[in-house]
Amino acid sequence: METDPVCGMEVDENGKGTAVAVVSGKKSYFCSNECRNTFLEKQA
């Protein structure tokens, strides 16, 4: 299990529909696209 870096929720990285982002070669997993988008906005 991975931890969503935005909300802290545990995420199954192999789960169907799990949102993923790769920033600077590091893969992060998210509970939703909303958390993924929030994370990516902060990276800009």
What single DSSP character describes residue 41?
H
Spatial separation of the C-alpha atoms in residues 44 and 40, rounded to whole Å: 7
What single DSSP character describes residue 8?
-
Distance of CA 1 to the CA centre of its chain: 12
Using one digit for the tens of pLDDT, what is the confidence trace for 1-44?
A: 999 999 999 999 999 889 999 999 999 999 999 999 999 999 97
Tell me what pLDDT residue 17 has.
87
Tell me what pLDDT residue 44 has.
75
Tell me what pLDDT residue 5 has.
97
Tell me what pLDDT residue 29 has.
97
The tally of domains found in the chain comes to 1
Which residues constitute the domain of residue 38?
2-43
